[in-house]
Amino acid sequence: MVVTTTPLRSTLVQPRLEVTGGTTLEGEIRVSGAKNSALVLMAACLLSKDSLLLHNVPRLTDIASMGEILAALGVRVTRSGETVELLADHVSRAAPPYELVNSLRASFFCIGPLLARMGMAQVPLPGGCQIGTRPVVEHVKGLKALGARVTIEHGVVTAVVPGAGQRLKGGHILLDCPSVGATETLMMAAALADGETIIENAALEPEVVDLARLLRAMGARIRGAGTPTIVIDGVPSLHGADYHVIPDRIEAGTFLIAGAITRSSLLVTPVITDHLGAVLAKLEDCGCRLTPEGEGIRISAKEINAIDLRTQPFPGFPTDLQAPFMSLLATATGTSMVVENIFENRLQHVAELQRMGASIRMQGNTACVEGVTRLSGAPVQGTDLRASAAMVLAGLAAEGITTVRGLEYLDRGYSQLEHKLNAVGARIQRVSGDA
């Protein structure tokens, strides 16, 4: 019998956050630019030979990876502070390197603009991740509806515009599900297509609207973004733009929950309230007081009561805040039902919360969370970027020290999370791998 053991060292040396619980937070916490907007806006630079200036771009590993992928395609990418300049005047290849793409699912955003610009694109399948299989069936179906010939071999998607013209044709696309990535991919491809494209059952997320605003600033003719039907009249070319990325609604929601779980009064700013309607409603339902203050929202919480939660496409409750909100409900008075409807495997944080004394029972995609008076600090593992954030939040409220591993996920979506939280009273220390 072969016994494989994980060397003790590999678990001890992972970089981790040590969170000392029990402090209340106070002051103002800043929200960075939206990761899930900036990533797709960066890919849109491929649609034009002119310079694209993006402001309020967060400093995240995912953003850096996207920059590397675009640079490998021949794009000149330069960052100065929170501004990134992208110049795709000479795109040297239509296939991002495999080893880079593997590190970033969002690199699949390149396929639409590359195909529209070059008449061909070759991008590895993004593949699954911890939270689900993450298919791109709708993206491929839509590109075919725009006239592309798409094949998938050896894990690589190859899309070609047949014929000499190398220009996609407008088409009518009915998405089987309101996929954010598919909607964004097809908007970018259709922007340079010949003729009108209609995308039905489009995703309504704020990041889709942000992309449409950028594309219009670049000269695209798009209407209906933010509604289920988007109409794009293709144009022969797009010019550059100087654009400001929206604030990150998921980071904002994470910080609001940090205020709630520590029973604090905290100003989170900036926040676009329309981007967080369902989350703000649930925070009020469980007893938080929310008051607009300047460009942000002040949250104050004393008692937190149980509520029921089900994730849905926008404007429903966002799947990305399901794990952070469950940490809050683990400390609420009463029993909450949490249903994850978007991804097939996004409840792995339940086991980690149970290690901290949370009382949670699982059945399929539903978690029954019975609030406890106090969580207890423990060594926990973040299993995706939002679950890692949820463990930090639970640590803020726990008795003692919580050691959070999985920072490779956390740093993908949160820029300087511990610095921002420590600045308002948290006690979090980042311990590097070799300590």
The distance of closest approach from Cβ of residue 415 to ligand EPZ in the complex, given in angstroms and rounded to an integer, is: 13
Q: Which residue has the tokens 């839509």?
A: 142
Residue 405 phi, psi (nearest 5): -100, 165
Answer yes or no: 110 catalytic: no
Out of 45, 110, 129, 288, which one is annotated catalytic? Answer: 129
Binding flag, residue 338, ligand EPZ (CB under 6 A):
no
Q: How far apart are CA 223 and CA 176, in angstroms?
A: 21
Interface residue with ligand EPZ, options 177, 281, 368, 435 (CB under 6 A): 177
Nearer to ligand EPZ, 106 or 276 (CB): 106
Q: Are 426 and 23 in contact (CB under 8 A)?
A: yes
Report whether 60 contacts 103 (CB < 8 A): no
Q: How far apart are CA 37 and CA 155, in angstroms?
A: 26
Site string for ligand EPZ, 36-65 (x = CB under 6 A): x--x--------------------------
- Nearest distance from residue 13's CB to ligand EPZ, in Å? 26
Tell me if 326 sits within 8 A of 369, measured CB to CB. yes
Phi, psi of 20 (to 5 degrees): -95, 115
Residues 6 or more apart in contact with residue 11 via CB below 8 angstroms:
405
Tell which one of 67, 296, 324, 413 touches ligand EPZ (CB under 6 A).
413
Each residue 373-402 as x (binds ligand EPZ by CB under 6 A) or -, in order, gives ------------xx----------------
Stretch of residues binding ligand EPZ (CB under 6 A), selected from 134-142, 262-270, 299-307, 350-358: 134-142
Rounded to an integer, what distance in angstroms lies between the CA atom of residue 171 and that of residue 356?
52
Q: Quote the least distance from Cβ 58 to ligand EPZ, whole Å.
A: 12
Q: Which helix (H) or strand (E) holds 77?
A: strand 76-80
305-324 binders of ligand EPZ (CB under 6 A): 319-320
225 binding ligand EPZ? (CB under 6 A): no
**For the chain, the helix, strand and coil percentages under 3-state DSSP, each to the nearest 5:** 35, 30, 35
Q: How far is the CB of 209 from ligand EPZ (least distance, A)?
A: 13
Residues 181-220 within binding reach of ligand EPZ (CB under 6 A): 181-182, 203, 207
Candidates 74, 97, 135, 357; binder of ligand EPZ (CB under 6 A) is 135
Out of 44, 84, 138, 411, name the contact with ligand EPZ by CB under 6 A.
138
Report the candidate in 341, 336, 319 with the shortest Cα–Cα distance to residue 390. Answer: 319
The Cα 245–Cα 37 span in angstroms is 7
Instruction: Return the structure tokens found at 326.
Output: 């469950």
Under the rule (CB under 6 A), what is the footprint of ligand EPZ? 36, 39, 106, 132, 134-139, 177, 179-182, 203, 207, 319-320, 342-343, 385-386, 413
Residues with active-site annotation: 129
